Amino acid sequence: MALQVKIEGNKIFVPLKDKWLNASPEEKVRQEYICRLVNHYGYSLEQMKQEVTVAEGNQRGTGRASADIVVWKAKEEVEKKAPVIVVECKADNITIRPEDYFQGSHYARYINAPFFVTTNLKETRIFKVNLDYPKDIGEEILDIPDANTALIEKKVKDLLTQTKAFTREEFSRLLFKCHNIIRNNDKLSPEAAFDEISKILFMKITYERKPDEENIFTLNQFKKQEANYEKNDRLVNIKLHGPQADIPYMDYWFELTKVEFKDDALFDSNEKIKIKAASFEAIVKELQIYNLSTTSDDVKGIAFEQFLGKTFRGELGQFFTPRTIVDYMVDILDPEESEIICDPCCGSGGFLIKTFEYVRSRIEHAVHDEKEKLKQEYYNEKYFTLGEKEKEKVDNFINELFNRLNSELDINNEKSRIYILSHECIFGTDANPRMARTAKMNMIMHGDGHGGVHHHDGLLNVNGIFDNRFDVILTNPPFGARVEKSLKITEQDKFTDGEKIKQYTKRFGDEYIDAMKQIENNINKSVISLYEMGEMSGLTEVLFIERCLNLLRPGGRMGIVLPEGVLNNPKLQKIRDFVESKAKIINITSIPQDVFIASGATVKPSLLFFKKFTEEENLKYNKIKDKATKTATNKNKSALEEIEEKLKVRNLSKEEKKAFKDKKNQLLQQIEDEIKAQIKKEFDYEIPIVEVKKAGITTTGAPCENELLPVAKEYKEYRLKNNLWKNKKIIGRYELKNKVYVRMLDMIEDNKVTKAGEPEVFYSKNANRNSK
């Protein structure tokens, strides 16, 4: 019979101590993992001990360490030989971070345990212990040995070589293999086959999210549960779907998946599984060795991205911007924490994903740096002069601070910096429903940030996407297509989800209500009529230039992929004039045509970067323009009036009238040129122009030399030197507070170290001296 966790009231039974303890979140995790060790890995309780402590003496850099669970190869070896596994448990609201477990990893190293596990049940990470380098927690690997494997030295060594780094390419190849199963068995197009593999991936995630230990995504498990389906699950199924609920088990699980991801709008309510049962079973068999819930975001995210790029090359290649270009554009604009980012033509979500990762990395580094400061500050010479009880108090207190810092990285903590980045700062739209769904899926695979992505016309407002709201725009609009005057705004363009409208109104206030009037007040009018440049051109790239400028707040910046020559084509001179009346051009990077050939594009592209005028710059520009207009008009006033008078003469021949009109037009052009010259003189600034011959990708999509990397580095130095925009100084809440509540050394000297959770007792003594 399987070992189960026993909880009564606020007490939990601890079999390794044979007594009841307080059911703290961490204790629950510990007992759940002990059950997993017994039920899944086959270890006996006699092979384990919990909360094993050891005094490692005064050796600097080690100190006192404690392990939540220690596992030996056999019960006869307990406390007589080196164990095989050391486990560190954290409450399920704590995100796993390797640097947080330096104490446990020190212990694993000290007693020569080859495997070190960190778990909060939602996420389990396994490391090969580095026995030679005390400051390194070790290399992440795939799994720990089961009870039988642990007794065989060769199998243990094999497990220690199966590192996480190996799984990225393997997972990518596996996705292609699954994709081909569908294409070959079900004869679907690449895009339709992708839709089906996506459904199965999210079925797998749903399956893994269930807390029952037996819910493992394997073919045998599916067959076992399908056998029990008619007996046990039919009533549940009927409750979900009504009396006609006699559906295959894979369809049943897809229905549960749709419910699981309902708020993310990944699937239409009528969407069905469109492959044969044999295809489904073959894919489950291929995927069962992977756990998406515990696979790191960089592994599954990059694998999924590689899969996307090759799957959609060709017909849908225009929806993909090569990664080297995405990386460069994000580096140039350097988005900061708390800035709001948008891509109104998001395709598969490349720009949004890179920006999310870019800012998330900054937050993670900030938290990591703060932890390192804490470790250096408290685990010093004074620490090693303390007694064991005082050391334990310091350890507990630092652990509490680390937990608080970790909470800033928890995507499920609504007050965390990562949650705010994911839910408040990332927005996008795409008019193609498959690509909007793909962007959401892609972002989930990369670790979230998908909630602001919508299937919608990028030229129209939707939910959080409206004028004067964004700090950064990054986009690659479709080239060469035209928005015809016949394209009307219709009732279908309205957002009609009443519950969501209430949520967005509460979230954005009057700005949201006003923004939705763009659609509500223009039903049956052409989309192109919403834009000033619509009178000059119906090209999508031209309209999206104006759309992006409108979306930016004053001082916001944007990067956009455009056909080379859009801003210097004589036929589009009015477009450049319009842009330069709204924003500064801060960089033009010409890239080789080869870059986009792999995605099906034939036009040579350029990367253009703008910074929308600040309110002060806008006032300055308009003041200069008004002055220049007045000067040029007055200068040519008499000549213009003379031509007007001559045009009033009744007996002019057609030739004479045409000549005067031509002369008038020449004079008006001269006035316009004089105005521009004066504006350029008084509102002049440098425009960096870069041309690269190699941008990291060939015509076949293969990697090559990337000249964009040194350009991005050089540009950062240039824009900081010239103060092109002011970087915000973002300091996390705990980073700011730590200077107040973590100064403990004076108190340690007086043996007045507080217990964890009560750092405020230090405020009175240290706040003024140490706070910023």
Residue 323 has pLDDT above 70, yes or no: yes
Least confident of 226-230, 290-294, 396-400: 226-230
**Residue 75 · residue 179 · CB < 8 Å:** no
Residue in this structure with the two tokens 């849908």, named with its chain if needed: 316
Q: What is the DSSP letter of 569?
A: -
Task: Give domain limits for the chain.
Answer: 7-162, 167-311, 372-411+731-770, 621-682
Classify strands 470-475 and 583-590 as parallel, antiparallel or unpaired: unpaired
Distance CA 464, CA 505 (A): 10
Could you tell me where the beta strands, DSSP code E, fall in 328-400? 341-343
The mean pLDDT of 2-28, rounded to a whole number, is 91
The mean pLDDT of 2-29, rounded to a whole number, is 91
Confidence of residue 232 (pLDDT cuts 50, 70, 90): very low
Confidence of residue 377 (pLDDT cuts 50, 70, 90): confident
3-state secondary structure (DSSP) of residue 702: coil
Torsion of CA 360, 590, 682, 638, to 10 degrees: -130
Residue in this structure with the two tokens 């104490």, named with its chain if needed: 103
Nearest to 101 by CA among 394, 369, 403: 403
Two tokens, residue 742: 């973590």
Distance CA 346, CA 475 (A): 7
Question: Where is pLDDT greater, at 658 or 260?
Answer: 658
Residue in this structure with the two tokens 């010093």, named with its chain if needed: 380
Per DSSP, helices labelled H in 456-497 are none
* Cβ-based neighbour number of residue 254 at 10 Å: 22
At residue 197, the pLDDT reads 87
**Residue 139 · residue 116 · CB < 8 Å:** no
Burial letters 734-766, b for 16+ CB under 10 A, else e: bbebbbbbbbbbeebeeeebbebeebeebeeeb
Residue in this structure with the two tokens 């384990």, named with its chain if needed: 48
Burial letters 349-388, b for 16+ CB under 10 A, else e: bbbbbbbbbbbbebbbebbbebbeebbebbbeeebbebee
At residue 65, the pLDDT reads 54
Question: Where is pLDDT greater, at 65 or 208?
Answer: 208
Phi/psi-derived region of residue 525, left when phi > 0, alpha when psi is between -120 and 50, beta in every other case = beta
Could you tell me which residues come within 8 angstroms of residue 722 by beta carbon, excluding any fewer than 6 positions away? 686
Instruction: List the strands of the sheet with 19-22, edge to edge.
Output: 7-8, 11-14, 19-22
Residue in this structure with the two tokens 């100190």, named with its chain if needed: 63
N- to C-terminal Cα separation, the chain: 58
Question: Where is pLDDT greater, at 216 or 109?
Answer: 109
At residue 135, the pLDDT reads 55
**Residue 660 · residue 684 · CB < 8 Å:** no
Could you tell me which residues come within 8 angstroms of residue 416 by beta carbon, excluding any fewer than 6 positions away? 407, 408, 409, 410
At residue 221, the pLDDT reads 59
Phi/psi-derived region of residue 83, left when phi > 0, alpha when psi is between -120 and 50, beta in every other case = beta
Two tokens, residue 503: 């949520």
**Residue 439 · residue 355 · CB < 8 Å:** no
Question: Where is pLDDT greater, at 305 or 10?
Answer: 10
3-state secondary structure (DSSP) of residue 572: helix
At residue 739, the pLDDT reads 32
What are the two backbone dihedrals, phi and then psi, of residue 466, each rounded to the nearest 5 degrees? -155, 175
Distance CA 237, CA 483 (A): 47
**Residue 96 · residue 34 · CB < 8 Å:** no
Residue 662 has pLDDT above 80, yes or no: yes
At residue 741, the pLDDT reads 29
Average pLDDT of the chain, as a whole number: 80
Reported as a single tens digit per residue, the pLDDT across 701-755 is: 778 899 999 999 999 999 999 999 976 544 433 333 333 223 333 333 343 444 3
Q: H or E segment at 548?
A: helix 540-551
Distance CA 55, CA 65 (A): 7
Confidence of residue 622 (pLDDT cuts 50, 70, 90): very high
Question: Where is pLDDT greater, at 245 or 358?
Answer: 358
At residue 742, the pLDDT reads 31
Could you tell me which residues come within 8 angstroms of residue 566 by beta carbon, excluding any fewer than 6 positions away? 541, 542, 545, 572, 575, 606, 608
Q: Where does 7-162 sit in CATH, by number?
A: 3.90.1570.30
Least confident of 18-22, 61-65, 216-220, 465-469: 61-65
Two tokens, residue 181: 């199963």
Nearest to 273 by CA among 263, 258, 285: 258
The mean pLDDT of 128-137, rounded to a whole number, is 66
Could you tell me where the beta strands, DSSP code E, fall in 591-700? 605-612, 689-691, 695-697
The mean pLDDT of 309-335, rounded to a whole number, is 78
At residue 762, the pLDDT reads 28
Reported as a single tens digit per residue, the pLDDT across 668-679 is: 999 999 999 999
Residue 623 has pLDDT above 80, yes or no: yes
Two tokens, residue 428: 């996008």
Strand-pairing partners, residue 454, are 429
Classify strands 124-128 and 583-590 as parallel, antiparallel or unpaired: unpaired
Nearest to 363 by CA among 312, 320, 416: 416
Strand-pairing partners, residue 557, are 472, 611
Distance CA 713, CA 145 (A): 45
Residue 616 has pLDDT above 70, yes or no: yes
At residue 384, the pLDDT reads 81
Question: Where is pLDDT greater, at 82 or 729?
Answer: 82
Confidence of residue 157 (pLDDT cuts 50, 70, 90): confident
The mean pLDDT of 489-495, rounded to a whole number, is 89
Confidence of residue 497 (pLDDT cuts 50, 70, 90): confident
Q: H or E segment at 603?
A: none
Distance CA 90, CA 152 (A): 30
At residue 415, the pLDDT reads 85
By percentage, how much of the chain surpasses pLDDT 90? 35
Confidence of residue 259 (pLDDT cuts 50, 70, 90): confident
Distance CA 362, CA 367 (A): 9
The mean pLDDT of 106-119, rounded to a whole number, is 83
Residue in this structure with the two tokens 């440098």, named with its chain if needed: 686
Helix crossing, 323-333 with 708-721: angle to 10°?
A: 10
Amino acid at position 594, single letter = D
At residue 235, the pLDDT reads 39
Residue 375 has pLDDT above 90, yes or no: no
Burial letters 114-146, b for 16+ CB under 10 A, else e: bbbbbbbbbbbbbbbbbeeebeebbebbbbbbe
The mean pLDDT of 455-478, rounded to a whole number, is 93
Confidence of residue 289 (pLDDT cuts 50, 70, 90): low
Two tokens, residue 672: 């316009």
- Give the dihedral sign, CA 105/110/116/122: negative
Question: Where is pLDDT greater, at 457 or 173?
Answer: 457
Which span out of 310-314, 355-359, 411-415 was modeled with the highest average pLDDT? 355-359
Distance CA 522, CA 490 (A): 8
The mean pLDDT of 68-79, rounded to a whole number, is 92
Strand-pairing partners, residue 429, are 454
Torsion of CA 381, 385, 387, 391, to 10 degrees: -10
Confidence of residue 91 (pLDDT cuts 50, 70, 90): confident
At residue 57, the pLDDT reads 39
- Give the dihedral sign, CA 166/172/175/180: negative
Q: What is the DSSP letter of 163?
A: B
Residue 32 has pLDDT above 80, yes or no: yes
Q: For residue 651, how far is the Cα from the chain centroid?
A: 72
Residue 478 has pLDDT above 60, yes or no: yes
Helix crossing, 190-209 with 433-445: angle to 10°?
A: 40
At residue 768, the pLDDT reads 31
